[in-house]
Amino acid sequence: MEFWDVDLKGVQQGEKYPAIYGRGKVGKWKLPANVEDLIEIETEATIEGTPKDGFATVSESVIKEAQYAFQDTTKTTTEG
């Protein structure tokens, strides 16, 4: 597999973000008991060789999806 570790808070170069790239193998993964509730998968991977530094293009839609706002433990409503 290919892996990117992108620093969205790092100093950009043009429209690209600082990143580390590596190739490796997924050793194992853990799925939730009910696969229909699949939201997150835990994985372990072994990177082959030395990861490489560079800059990666990340679309605004991917950034927006990766970011989320803090939510309190109480139920919120959209009504004013």
Q: How far apart are CA 13 and CA 58, in angstroms?
A: 12
Q: How far apart are CA 19 and CA 8, in angstroms?
A: 9
Is the model's pLDDT at 69 over the cut of 70? no
The answer to pTM > 0.75 is no
- Rg of the Cα trace of the chain? 17
Q: Three-state DSSP class for 8? A: coil
Q: How far apart are CA 26 and CA 61, in angstroms?
A: 26
Confidence (pLDDT) at 39: 72
List, edge to edge, every strand of the sheet that includes 16-30.
Answer: 2-6, 16-30, 42-57
Average pLDDT over residues 54-64: 89
Confidence (pLDDT) at 77: 65
- The one-character DSSP state at 36 is G
3-55 residue pLDDT tens: 999 999 999 999 899 999 999 999 988 877 776 766 777 889 999 999 999 99
